[in-house]
Chain A
């Protein structure tokens, strides 16, 4: 993992993208890009170098599950850490996310401490 990891924040609500970007900055990660859905995210991931994906589930065009599956099926992208940050609180979704290769799952609303804990944990595991 790079010393200044590059994050991709995927959420259809600009407010949430901004909150996540600012929180990551407060945690110490200043390098982040944004995408409003899975399609845009996948294009960005395939055209640039990213070290970490923070994604919502419920989005138009391509949702978070489809994005996760596409990433895990892509030879070049499959090892990127993927953290779900979503309002979906169904156990079925949480289990699905884990089984499809998500590295973490946060339900909204969440706190800065929760985000920091999950990101750091994933970073340590992938160091």
Chain B
């Protein structure tokens, strides 16, 4: 969004200086502002007369008109309340996104704390069951050969031993479930990266809008540094893209194909 705005502006700014891009500049602004007063139809590309002997006066005249239109259009944009509203609302949107990131982060931390506590309780139960099972097994051996053991007593001891043994297995299952709950908290990292990217985008857009509204000069826009290449973060829609992998198997296949 911000980048496309920026590139449109750069394109327009560039159009003010280059005859070849002038038509594109007119077309962009023609959608949202008063078009350049109608000119003679532009000769088709490859027209030998134009290509070989352009009239400098005519080109300067057209650039001047284009620049004037550009100034006027930008000034008009500066007075548009809707545009100013967008600019004013962007900091609020950023704050809200930052709030979402903070709250979801807090929630993830709480879950992780709870998982840690549950795992600790689970470990205690497992350890206790293991100790008790050892002791009850000893009693069972004694009871089986002892004269004072009743059949009901032996059965009770055996059932208790079995229960304690199962408790250990169930503890392993609970531990696996706790790991799943813990892993699910990676949503904070993944969504957080996307939110941060949108916040950065909103910031860029806001800065561009402020410049557009205050300066309203193509020269200023031309001076804007072109953003460098930034990491993309989680891919939200890998379908139909050939430049990204969809899963870990894709990573492994790619690296294997390169001999890594």
Binding site for B on A (CB under 8 A): 11, 13-16, 18-19, 22-23, 26, 57-58, 63, 87-95, 98, 105-112, 114
Contacts and interface: CB of A to CB of B under 8 A. Distances in A.
B243 A91 contact: yes
From B185, B235, B245, B246, name the one whose CB has the most chain A CB atoms within 10 angstroms: B245
Contacts of B251: 89, 94, 105-107
B183 A57 contact: no
Contacts of B131: none
B108 interface: yes
A13 B188 contact: yes
A81 to B, nearest CB: 14
25 contacts: A15-B105, A15-B186, A18-B112, A19-B112, A19-B182, A22-B179, A22-B182, A58-B231, A58-B233, A63-B231, A89-B245, A89-B246, A89-B250, A89-B251, A90-B245, A91-B254, A98-B260, A105-B251, A105-B255, A107-B245, A107-B250, A108-B189, A109-B183, A112-B179, A112-B183
Contact of B183 (A94, A106, A111): A111
Chain A to chain B: the 7 pairs with minimum beta-carbon distance, closest first: A87-B234, A58-B231, A13-B189, A16-B189, A15-B188, A98-B260, A89-B244
Nearest to B187: A109
Contacts of A88: 231-233
Interface string B246-260: 111011001100101
Contacts of A89: 234-235, 238, 244-246, 250-251
Contacts of A98: 255, 258, 260
Nearest to B176: A112
B109 interface: yes
Interface of B: 105, 108-109, 112, 116, 179, 182-183, 185-186, 188-190, 192-193, 231-235, 238, 243-248, 250-251, 254-255, 258, 260
B186 A109 contact: yes
Nearest to B116: A22
Contacts, number: 97
A97 to B, nearest CB: 9
Contacts of B258: 95, 98
Contact of B190 (A87, A111, A112): A87
A107 B193 CA distance: 14
B171 to A, nearest CB: 14
Nearest to B255: A98
B255 A108 contact: no
Contacts of A15: 105, 108-109, 112, 185-186, 188-189
B120 to A, nearest CB: 12
A14 B245 CA distance: 26
Nearest to A11: B189
B234 A108 contact: yes
Contacts of A108: 186, 189-190, 234
Contacts of A90: 232, 235, 243-245
B245 A58 contact: no
Given A63-B231, A89-B238, A94-B255, A106 B248 contact: yes
Contacts of A93: 231
A16 B186 contact: yes
Given A88-B231, A92-B243, A107-B245, 16 more contacts: A13-B105, A13-B192, A22-B116, A57-B231, A88-B232, A89-B234, A89-B235, A89-B238, A94-B251, A98-B258, A105-B255, A106-B251, A107-B251, A109-B186, A110-B248, A112-B179
From B112, B234, B243, B251, name the one whose CB has the most chain A CB atoms within 10 angstroms: B251
